[in-house]
Structure 1
Amino acid sequence: MKWQITQLNSFKNKKFIHWPSHKQWLELLVWAIVLGAIGFFGMFIYLERTLPDADTIATRQVSESTKIYDRTSQVLLYDIHGEEKRTVIPWEQIPANAKNATLAAEDSNFYSHGGFDVRGIARSFFKDVLSLSLSQGGSTLTQQLVKNALLGGQKTPFRKIQELILSVQIEKKFSKDQIFWMYLNQIPYGSNAYGIESASKTYFGKTAANLTLNESVILASLIQAPTRYSPYGSHVDELIARKDILLARMRDLNYISVDDYQQSVDEKLVFKKTTESVTAPHFVIMVKDYLVKKYGEDVVENSGLKVITTLDANLQNIAEDSVTKYATINKKIYKASNAVLVSVNPKNGDVLALVGSADYFDTANEGNFNVAIDGTGRQPGSSFKPFAYATLFQKGYPDNTILFDTRTEFNSYCSPDLSQIKDQYGTPCYHPQNYDGTYRGPVTLRQALGQSLNVVAVKVLYLAGINDTINNAARMGISTLNDPNRYGLSLVLGGAEVHPIDMASAYGVFANDGVRNPWQIVLSVQDANGNVLEQASDRSERVLEPQIARLMNNILSDNLARAPVFGYNNSLYIPGREIAAKTGTTQDNRDGWVVGFTPSISTVVWTGNNNNSQMTVAGAGVSAAGPMWHEFMVKALANTPIESFPEPYPVSANKAPLDGSYTSPDGQIHTILYNVDRSDPLGPAPISPGNDPQFYNWEWVIRGVFGPLPTPLPDN
């Protein structure tokens, strides 16, 4: 009762909050609107006074040029504007197809709006809000003209308002045709070409008046992203796809007929050979793509960036000379017309040299396609084997472990006598051969890797585990193994696609004592005022234990281990230098690889054909790729300190065949699966080795040589 009285008194003494009445709310709203209007019009008047004169629209503002340098900042690799090319032509000399293609691509409502498109602005506004950016333009042709000729490419809310004001002013001062004419004579098309006449001569070697429908649509397709879609870049397939989409839109807008559409889609385009001055073109295009993705087309094209890259100009010259020399030789002797060379510093990930094809400027043969990084990749052949061996060593297997190099059926549902093509479920049987068709019986892991024995490599992958090997390769830098369920035991023989630049980087993990430094191409970026926008930083990560990296280096640099196959004086051997290296050849000789390294430089060479046609048998393995790799490495290492890999500590085990013997405690000779549980290789022998699905087929071969066949085991 006392508590209730206290609460009642407290309630009586409490002061009530007085909320504004409806009238007061209305007054507040009116004042907010008035003050907002005053602020808006004040800002509008301020922005209008700071605007450039709309009458100067006919004279284009020259933007500051972005320059890309080598690692010393002394060698200019590429000036993104360079000598600007622009030729103004009369309205009447611009073909109707070029005008219509541009309208369809950029602003199909141009002749019906007053300078800006409300729906387009609203659409881009909501996209920007959702993405928390200012990436969506929603710009009409008039707005694009204002941006390129008067304001520049800065993306801020105030600049957008200025753009809208100027667009309205220009629409009042000039006719639609005049605005469109100025646009077509000033818009950037890439490759330093401004205006449609310059673009026509740059890409097709003809005047705009003589452009075909297909060529007109290509130019209109470039406007949105001239760097990304450049005919001289690595995304020509995207340019063609965009061209075909734009043709379909022109058809739907009744600008062209159905027959015109189909004829243009089927027509093959031929681009004029570029005359741009550019050093290391594949590398420079990679840098441009990186900059555009990070900073946007406008900033890269107009903001005067200074970009210091990782490229070593001297090594790049050596790389280009080596590729040019041996690509010509290989084409004549081995029918391998293309080649790639990438060199990376394992200690920091810097890409020191990169040649993405034999001739970047040979666009007729897709020379501008960068095989080093673009597309789905190429199959690596035996150069993938080290990832499986490293994974096996991680599980405790010593390098003198004995495996049998014997013809083996790896599909456990197929007969071990190799008599079947498919199993009962229709799955192909799998019994790979060694490259020379011969088999060597018991060999150590060191010998098997050094001599690149295929049958043993498949056994290594099985013991190491496919998923564990894929995960290891990914941690080391292989970026293309994104569908683990797609790969089987053929993975270790190159049954997946990889990018050459990833291979150079991943092998660099071995070279760098197990520490990965992801490859990088840019050291720093500064704006026109010298402000640092980006600076390379340490991204190192340990992905292998030092012992595993050292053991791999010790094997891959063992010239005695590979001599039985390659000879002592082979392309992988450089007198006086400790070099670790591995070759690779794919099925039907479509790809030839060498990946080799010292502690300071990891270099990959790939040879083959862009159309995936075969090389000759003689070009397999080291024959086509080896001399190119050897010549580059000899010159690259000249006048550099001699380095050695740290030695691994000895690894041993007290059980066969991990101890280098292949006789079991019972005095019999068995497959490794008889003595080793692959889930616990250093532990006790499996109680029921037959439970392993591979045991019967592996043991069958050995019993055929050393003793009677075992009793067939029940299906697992």
Structure 2
Amino acid sequence: MRASTKAMNCDAPLARRGFVAFVRIVRIVLCILWVGEPLAAHALPTFDDVRTQWRSSDWLLLSRDGVPLQRTRIDRTERRGDWVALADVSPALREAIVVSEDKRFYEHSGVDWRGAAAAAWANLWNTRTRGASTVTMQLTGLLNDDRERSGQRSIAQKANQAVSALWLEHAWRKDQILEAYLNLVPFRGETIGLSALSITLFGKAPSGLDEREAAIAAALIRAPNASYAKVGERACRILRDMQAPERCARLAAFVQLAFARPAPVLLSVSPDAPILAPHLARRIASETHPVAGARVTSTLDAKLQRFASDTLTRTLVELNAPAHPRNVHDGAIVVLDNATGEVLAWVGSSGALSDARDVDAVLARRQAGSTLKPFLYAQAIDERRLTTASLLDDAPLDLPAGGGLYIPQNYDKDFKGWVSVRTALGSSLNVPAVRTLVMLTPHRFAKTLTALGLPLDQSGDYYGYSLALGSADVTLLSLTNAYRALANGGVAAPTVDVVRRPLSPAAQQRVFSSDASYIIATVLSDNNARTRTFGFDSPLATRFFSAVKTGTSKDMRDNWTVGYTSRYTVGVWVGNADGQPMWDVSGVTGAAPIWAAVVGYLHRRVPSVAPRAPAGVVQTRVTFDGNIEPARNEWFVSGTQTPIVGLAANAGPADRAPAVSRVTTPGRAMSSANAAPRIASPTDGTLFALDPDIPAARQRIVFERASGSSSRSRWRLDGKPLGGDERVLWLPWPGRHVLELVDADGMSADSVHFDVRGATARETALPGGTKSDTPHHGVTPSNAR
């Protein structure tokens, strides 16, 4: 620009006539300073530099396709949001800023000559008046020292600011000046810029501010630390200047409410969006230590993350319906990509439904329940100890343990007799799993689980035979990734939660053969195999290929469903973060519906097909002697196939006794082949120890007549009749009892004495404030499912 042009701009005529000579003197002095100090322009950055160098006080977690998911604050000295484009600022706020700070913003060239002259003239006469700093002049102060705050300045500083403003107006457009000003101007306390103010004070984006909110924001620029009453007064004056005086009604109360809003440390991406990934954000922050303003791209799928979170919330609300509350308030979901190990969804808690929403249930350790059984049978198949057609005895089993006897029970408190491995795994039977672990040993099985990445802190001998039923504590992430190993043919590999170069192949480890992994997949995807426990119609039966397993830990404290399709592995946990037991919630009623909804969403447009059989397996038609199970086609590791499966000559009929633990003391032997009524079970002097983890109403003791006893005999317990069935299931009650068989004349033909121990009555509060006397039992077999 030529000097003549500058002089012409400086000598532009004034609209007002009063103190004309004084105004001209001020303008001439400023023009001389402007022409005489050309280096001042070099101290001011370009608009693009200012916008590029802006740093939020937070770091931002992005989804795999760049969608913002989560904002986490790092800089505690100042709160700054993202840079806001002027087009994303509400028109009301732009008007309020101009009205309150610079009414002739769009008319002057950086300095409001009339305002400056009026202020200088008033200062000469000690008259109180508003300041003369324009928006452009204030911006130059922010650019020269981004920590400079409003306050008194000397005449020289004012003059230098005015000169810089003239240079800035020459280099920047008006919209750029106003945009930068709104992003750099300090507001109340630590808040810098409109984005941070709008979210923390009003809970909305800058584009959504109405006239009243805009006036309050503008009022805070002049007096950022004033009381809410003073801010309200100034905001009302601004509203009158905006021709909106009706918005002054109840303004002071509105300001007070806005100031009372707590400023969150963890923010959603926008005020209207939910907080989608707080737990993964914390994990990434602890591992990568991002700096303020960083944008970290995760592997999460934003739409899937939102769907999973909503599904978890909706299911827990349904489980706690007032009519039938289930006392389950927490949950977690993990979705993994089978091929890459990328984490596609990470829902760490149920949010507002939880009393411990900051606890990341994806990483919390919980008892695994029956979810470890597929790995147990995979190892047995790999070692050629079992095939899926092998028969296991699902009958009462007492194993010596360090503290006495370990007596495993099935979830439904009944025994099935001789069953195949396919049925045992599909229906999640406990005793066959324990018998399998006896063959493998807990020590060697624990090594397998550790190779899969499960965080076992102790050796297998520490857990003992209960390891077959999931007594070890695992995390949802590690358990889900272990199932991913089965989906990948037995190869375990780490997960990935931040977009980066692929992991080295050395990080992979083969744990199972592809043959054993495939055979396990055929069981976990076989709806017929699980019917004995789950029935035909359950959430586990999907319309596409999926291999899935449930698990429930002791006392219904942890509830799992983990499974995989051809492309994804999904793990779900529900329970309570504080460890409280749920009320009648199992894997198929708690976690399974969530799992089914998520895999259904994943495959709503993408098919899931069963894996191809590897070269090392063969399919053979199998027939079971005695019709123990129906004939079927079965998969075998090549060389282990057999067309006929039967019991050994010395294998007796499986004991189908109920789930109550039985320790028999010496007494009378059972009579058989005798026409007189005789009691076969229990024997005299039997001690029954009740299970503390099984609901009292689900436990039974079986009373049976000896073979050949008269069918006309009747049962009598403690002097009260029980009926005449050959086999009676009795709900146990603590104490000493006398069981009798009476003949047709009502005379006692046989009797036994037995004790039910390990139970004390306690008062249990029921929903609605009522109480019930419920037996509290005292033996500890697992009821994993």
TM-score class normalised by the smaller sequence = 0.5 to 0.7
Superposition deviation, residue 583 in structure 1: 0.7
Provide the residue aligned with 1:366 in structure 2: 356
Aligned counterparts, 1:705-716, within 5 A: none
Tell me which of 396, 404, 428 is aligned to 1:452: 428
CA shift, 1:393, in A, is: 1.0
Pairs within 5 Å for 1:42-81: 63=55, 66-73=59-66, 75-81=67-73
Structure 1 residues 671 and 462: alpha-carbon distance in aligned structure 2, compared to 1, 3 A threshold: farther
Q: CA RMSD in A?
A: 4.2
CA spacing shift, 1:468–1:82, aligned 2, 3 Å = closer
Could you tell me how far 1:339 is from its partner in structure 2?
Answer: 1.3
- What are the Cα deviations for residues 462-484 of structure 1, in whole angstroms up to 9, with x where unaligned? 11221221121222221244444
Tell me which of 430, 435, 446 is aligned to 2:406. Answer: 430
Confirm or deny: 8 A CA contact 1:280 1:354 kept in the other structure.
Answer: no
Q: 1:192 to 1:445 in 2, by over 3 A?
A: farther
Alignment of structure 1 residues 583-662 onto 2, 5 Å: 583-617=550-584, 619-647=585-613, 649-650=617-618, 651=636, 661-662=645-646
1:293 and 2:287 correspond: yes
CA–CA distance in structure 2, aligned partners of residues 331 and 566 of structure 1: 22
Match of 1:542 among 507, 510, 518: 510
Contact 2:79 2:196 (8 Å CA) reproduced: no
TM-score by length of 1: 0.52
Q: What CA deviation, in whole Å up to 9, does each residue of 1:444-472 have, x standing for no partner?
A: 11110011001111111111221221121
CA contact (8 A) 2:319 2:328 kept: yes
Q: Give the gaps of 5 or more residues in structure 1.
A: 1-60, 89-147, 151-184, 198-206, 209-270, 413-424, 525-533, 673-704, 707-716
Deviation at 1:63, TM superposition (A): 4.1
For the pair 1:345 / 2:337, whether they are aligned, the reply is yes
> How far, CA to CA, are the matches of 2:281 and 2:590 in structure 1?
29
- Call closer, same or farther: CA 1:653–1:429 in 2, change over 3 Å: farther
CA shift at 1:282, angstroms? 7.2
* Higher mean displacement: 601-610 or 466-475: 466-475
Q: Percent identity?
A: 27
Shift of 1:564: 2.3
Q: Is the 8 A contact 1:310 1:522 kept in 2?
A: yes
Q: Which has the larger radius of gyration?
A: 2
User: Which structure would you say has the larger RCO, counting Cα contacts within 8 Å and 6 or more residues apart?
Assistant: 1
* Contact 1:81–1:192, Cα closer than 8 Å, also in 2: no
CA separation of 1:410 and 1:354: change in aligned 2, threshold 3 A: same
1-side partners of 2:79 and 2:280: how far apart?
29
- Larger helix share, 1 or 2: 1
Q: Which residue identity does 2:347 align to in structure 1?
A: V
The residue that corresponds to 1:36 in the other structure is none
Match of 1:389 in 2: 377
Q: 1:345 to 1:481 in 2, by over 3 A?
A: farther
- In structure 1, C-alpha distance between the alignment counterparts of 2:653 and 2:436, rounded to whole Å: 13
Aligned partner of 2:359: which letter?
F
Q: Which amino acid aligns with 2:283?
A: D
Quote the residue 1:507 is aligned against. 483
Q: 1:561 aligns with which of 526, 529, 532?
A: 529
Give the Cα separation in 2 of the matches to 1:451 and 1:79. 44
Look up the SS of the partner of 1:353 in the other structure.
Answer: strand
Contact 1:400–1:660 (CA under 8 A) maintained in structure 2: no
The CA distance in 1 between the partners of 2:487 and 2:274, in whole Å, is 26
Instruction: Decide which of 316, 329, 350 is 1:327's aligned counterpart.
Output: 316
Contact 2:60-2:294 at 8 Å conserved across structures: yes
Taking the aligned partners of 2:518 and 2:639, their CA distance within structure 1 comes to: 22
**2:328 match:** 336
Cα distance between partner residues in 1 of 2:274 and 2:538: 30
Deviations 1:258-317 (A, max 9, x none): xxxxxxxxxxxxx987672147857444344334434x4xxx233x43322110112112
Q: Note closer, same or farther for the CA distance 1:520–1:653 as it changes in structure 2 (3 Å cut).
A: closer
* Aligned mates of 2:600, 2:443 — CA distance in 1: 37
- 1:306 partnered with 2:290: no
Deviation at 1:335, TM superposition (A): 1.5
Assess, with a 3 A threshold, how the Cα gap between structure 1 residues 671 and 384 changes in structure 2: closer, same or farther.
farther
Deviation readout 1:312-333 (Å, 9 max, x if unpaired): 1121121011101001112234
After superposition, give the CA deviation of every residue in 1:627-656 in whole Å (9 maximum; x if it has no partner): 111112111210013321223613279999
| Pair 1:362–1:339, CA change in 2 (3 A) | closer
How far, CA to CA, are the matches of 1:277 and 1:366 in structure 2?
19
* 2:304 aligned with 1:315: yes
TM-score where L is the length of structure 2: 0.48
Query: Which residue number corresponds to residue 240 of structure 2?
Result: none
Separation in 2 of the partners of 1:371 and 1:644? Answer: 31
Which residue identity is paired with 1:609? N
Secondary structure of the 1:602 match is strand
Secondary structure of 1:487's aligned partner: helix
More strand by share: 2
| Partner AA of 1:588 in structure 2 | D
1:192-231 pair list within 5 angstroms: none
**Residues of 1 paired with 2:263 and 2:577: CA distance?**
20
Amino acid at match of 1:340: A
Partner of residue 393, structure 2: 404
Counterpart pick for 2:453 among 449, 457, 477: 477
The answer as to whether partners of 1:403 and 1:671 remain within 8 angstroms in 2 is no
Letter paired with 1:352: L
CA gap of 1:187–1:313, structure 2 versus 1, over 3 A, is closer
Give the 3 Å change call, closer, same or farther, for CA 372–281 of structure 1 in structure 2. Answer: farther
Question: Measured at CA, do residues 79 and 663 of structure 1 come closer, stay the same or move farther in structure 2, by a change above 3 Å?
Answer: closer
Amino acid at match of 2:298: T
- Corresponding letter in the other structure for 1:607: V
Answer yes or no: is 1:487 the counterpart of 2:463. yes
Q: Structure 1 643/386 Cα, relative in aligned 2: closer, same or farther at 3 Å? A: same
The alignment partner of 1:488 has SS state of helix
Counterparts of 1:567-586 in structure 2, within 5 Å, are 567-575=535-543, 577-586=544-553
What is the identity, as a one-letter code, of the residue corresponding to 1:308? T
Q: Kindly state the Cα deviation for residue 537 of structure 1 after the two structures are TM-superposed.
A: 5.6
**Aligned equivalents of 1:519 and 1:598: distance in 2?**
17
Residue equivalent to 2:113: none
Give the secondary structure class of the aligned counterpart of 2:61: strand
Report the Cα distance in structure 2 between the residues aligned to 1:546 and 1:630, rounded to whole angstroms: 26
